[in-house]
Amino acid sequence: MKKPNIIYILADDMGYGDISYLNEKCPFKTRYFDQLGEEGMSFTDAHATSAVCTPSRYGILTGRYNWRSRLKTGVIGGYTPHLIEDGRQTVANLLSDSGYYTACIGKWHLGMDWPCHGEFKSVPDFGVVENVDYTGIIKNGPVDFGFDYYYGISASLDMPPYVYIENNKVVELPTKVTSDSGKRFWREGPTAPNFKHEQVLPHLTDKVVQTIEEHKEEPFFIYFPLPAPHTPILPTKEWIGKSGTNEYGDFVMMCDAMVGKVMEKVKACGLEENTIIIYTSDNGCSPSADYKELAEKGHNPSYIFRGHKADIYEGGHRIPLLIKWPEVIKAGSQCNETVCLADFMATMADLLGVILPDNMGEDSVSELGLWKGQDQYTREALVHQSIDGSLSIRKGKYKLEMCKGSGGWSYPVPNSEVERQLPHVQLYDLEVDIKEQHNIYEQHPEVVKELKELLTKYVKEGRSMPGIPQKNNGVEVWETIKWITE
């Protein structure tokens, strides 16, 4: 069989409930997302490895839980040095070695090493590094981790610098400083003359369409991490008011239209039957979307799930996942298995007949059997992480959360008076309590013990899949966590 083309589209902060195919109560129609579900497979229990973006992206590209990297909490900024470890192989390396043309077009947000006048001077809170040499060569970006081509932005669209990068150089030097507020929020920072925040999403989409045209005669892998619907929430004029909700709903519809452009290009090039199109999100919807305002219009981006971006609760990391591959995946099929975005590495290896070494895809499980409609999936349990670094583990119907509250931005927030009075762990039976309302840890001490021991094993062995134990990075943090050290 001819190697299939692969297009992996990753939304930034889109909730499960934002896709009308997955949420019958969604007040607006997402035409192309729905088409992916109708013509492919939809997943009802898919999860990012984290409830925030940088770590989720790490998990997708490495097949390794993000909390094994040096980044134990939060996200990185636009100037932060590279996060993926030197020598670590990504799924782009795997596909490149198998004869694929590999391109990353969009938001990277995994760090890169900016050239500087003198020593790199780190700054807090996603601030501007003042001594960057924008004319120099950027090291350890996407083209150093398996991608033949890169075009995009270094981090989120609300994090400076606001410049396009092609391969390892800035396309146009920044000459001005810009910022904005409200739902249009972006932090103050250096901006290139032709860099217009409102045009970043359509511009990147055009680059993807162009790349498909240029490489339609060879197998290609295009990783397209959208900068949207993350802040700044910037639907262009033609989309304002279209959703009947607010600017966020309009922006979701605009994202849908951009994905539609990619799908239409694949079809126009005669590649539809043997092209895998994956659409998903790096975490749940952000509160920046204004949940209260959306609720007044009858919309909940988190669907029926508790919490949102940043949280250990389902709304933080349970995400939409739609996959279309006409040659293999049955149209309109649905998968209810608990799967993870880190599975991409093992799935691609399985597809290509490649045996992964012990130091690749340590937490990745092949989903290829599921895609084919077969009952072949071997994940024992799944680990999630919130923005403050709290972990949870899901095995079957039970989910054990190793924190008192949300671990993120929703109630009860970490270190609040309310949270301090809560039990030290949370256990939920998701079969009967999908909204995570009833903590049953006292009723099932044996389940708490089993899951805590399994999570500790996963942490200590540096892997959750069978194989030779591996080392974690930045292990000092584990030495202070009682449930791991006891």
- Which whole number is the average pLDDT over 326-340? 98
Is residue 340 within 8 Å of residue 56, measured between CB atoms?
no
Q: Is the preceding omega at residue 229 within 30 degrees of 0, hence cis?
A: yes
What is the distance between the alpha carbons of residues 303 and 142, in angstroms, rounded to a whole number? 34
In three-state secondary structure terms, 440 is coil
pLDDT tens digits along 406-433:
999 999 999 999 999 999 999 999 999 9
Tokens 């219009």 locate to 297
What is the distance between the alpha carbons of residues 411 and 404, in angstroms, rounded to a whole number? 11
Residue 369: which pLDDT band, with cuts at 50, 70 and 90?
A: very high
Pair of tokens at residue 323: 């996959």
pLDDT at residue 482 greater than cutoff 90: no
* Pairing outcome for strands 5-12 and 220-229: parallel
Cβ neighbours of 72 (radius 10 Å):
19
pLDDT tens digits along 29-69:
999 999 999 999 999 999 999 999 999 999 999 999 999 99
pLDDT given for residue 484 in this prediction: 74
pLDDT at residue 477 greater than cutoff 90: no
Pair of tokens at residue 414: 């970490």
Domains and CATH numbers, the chain: 5-371 (3.40.720.10), 383-485 (3.30.1120.10)
Identify the H or E element spanning 185: none
Question: Closest Cα to residue 95, out of 63, 64, 54, 58?
Answer: 63
pLDDT at residue 485 greater than cutoff 90: no
Apex 161 CA angle, 311 and 251, nearest 5: 55
pLDDT tens digits along 251-264:
999 999 999 999 99
Q: What does pTM read for this prediction?
A: 0.98
Give me the helix-helix angle, 344-352 and 53-62, nearest 10°: 20
Q: How many Cα neighbours within 13 Å face the side chain of 334?
A: 7
pLDDT at residue 478 greater than cutoff 80: no
What is the distance between the alpha carbons of residues 240 and 474, in angstroms, rounded to a whole number? 45
When the pLDDT of each residue in the chain is averaged and rounded to a whole number, the result is 97
Residues with Cβ within 8 Å of 336's Cβ and at least 6 positions away in sequence, in order, are 43, 44, 45
- Which whole number is the average pLDDT over 282-304? 98
pLDDT tens digits along 207-243:
999 999 999 999 999 999 999 999 999 999 999 999 9
Q: Provide, rounded to the nearest whole percent, the portion of the chain with pLDDT above 70.
A: 99
In three-state secondary structure terms, 123 is coil
pLDDT given for residue 405 in this prediction: 97
Q: Is the preceding omega at residue 412 within 30 degrees of 0, hence cis?
A: yes
What is the distance between the alpha carbons of residues 442 and 432, in angstroms, rounded to a whole number? 17
Runs of H (alpha helix) within 122-188? none
What is the distance between the alpha carbons of residues 52 and 406, in angstroms, rounded to a whole number? 13
Residue 486: which pLDDT band, with cuts at 50, 70 and 90?
A: low
Is residue 224 within 8 Å of residue 8, measured between CB atoms?
yes
pLDDT tens digits along 195-207:
999 999 999 999 9
Residue 483: which pLDDT band, with cuts at 50, 70 and 90?
A: confident
pLDDT tens digits along 152-175:
999 999 999 999 999 999 999 999
